[in-house]
Amino acid sequence: MNQSYPQVEKKYWHGLFVLAILTLLVWLAYFSLRPDYKLHVNFYDVGQGDAIFIKTYQGNQVLIDGGPDGAVLRKLGHDLPFYDRAIDLLVLTHPHADHAAGLIEVLKRYKVKRALLTGVNYDSQTYKRFLELLKEKQVETLTARAGQKIYLDDSTIMYVLFPFADLRGRNFKDMNQTSIVVKLSFGRTDFLFTGDAGKENERSLLAAGFGLASEILKAGHHGSRFSTSEEFLDSVHPEFAVISAGRGNRYGHPHEEVLELFQRKGIEYLRTDERGDVRMQSDGSGIEAF
């Protein structure tokens, strides 16, 4: 009696099963990568640090800062499918470890196409390793300077507002004052990201006459009293302010003076140390926060 037919039939059904699984994975990849034509901005809770993930309406992906450790990888792993390892633009606002350290892990595990940074001198092993990885991975590097326009897609533009000069190779006593400030525009909605910029930077931006008005303000320096002046806030006139700070941090961020200022101005503030991740999306005409 011929015993080959059951074996052939078993292989046949096994092949169909594998094909079905592969087909399912292809469709899952298609639907998960297909853009929903909204701008998504996620302010990650990474403790005492900044990490902001942006997905444009056409699906391009941007990461502004990476927090103090590898926590950003868990956040990205939650928002991106396992097979998506592309970051179209990485922004390091300034070299302090609470913004730079997590980017080292991102560079190791993701394909980063471009990076925007100031190139200032800073004697830190974390920052040096970050710069080394940019070279090793052959990442295209852009030097931030006011006036630049970075088109993230057909309708999403990142405007560089600060620094005013090329800072490559320069030394500074206070790295916070070198923070990149960018404005993200999509339709009639705007986000202003300030890194750890202080009141001195804010005065410079006001004097430069930039259009700062934005629906969303990422509060400077984790809600420090040395950022977010009343004059600056009046110019930005945000609906929401997002504060990235760690629970029970030793700096006392966010400071009560800043919170009181937001309350007095009728600005709703959202804190990562209280809410965890702050997620927003825009259709170009309005913003939802959740």
Domain boundaries along the sequence of the chain:
1-34, 35-289
CA distances from 250 to 64, 181, 219, 254 (A): 24, 25, 18, 11
Comparing 3 with 145, the larger pLDDT belongs to 145
- Of the candidates 205, 202, 185, 183, which has an alpha carbon nearest to the alpha carbon of residue 193? 183
Residue 253: name the closest of 54, 53, 98, 100 by CA. 98
- Interhelix angle 125-136/97-109, rounded to 10 degrees, is 30
pLDDT tens digits for range 195-247:
999 999 999 999 999 999 999 999 999 999 999 999 999 999 999 999 999 99
Weakest mean pLDDT among 30-44, 77-91, 109-123, 257-271: 30-44
Rounded to whole angstroms, the Cα distance separating 271 from 273 reads: 5
Residues 67-90 pLDDT 10s: 999 999 999 999 999 999 999 999
Place of tokens 């991975």: 137
State the pTM of this model.
0.90
Residue 276: is its pLDDT beyond 70?
yes
Tell me: pLDDT of 7 over 80.
no
Does 4 have pLDDT greater than 60?
no
Please, which residues have CB within 8 angstroms of residue 257's CB and are 6 or more apart in sequence?
225
Confidence of residue 36 (pLDDT cuts 50, 70, 90): confident
Q: How confident is the model at residue 272 (pLDDT cuts 50, 70, 90)?
A: very high
CATH among 3.40.50.720, 3.30.429.10, 3.60.15.10, 3.40.50.2000 for 35-289:
3.60.15.10
Higher-pLDDT residue of 17 and 127 is 127
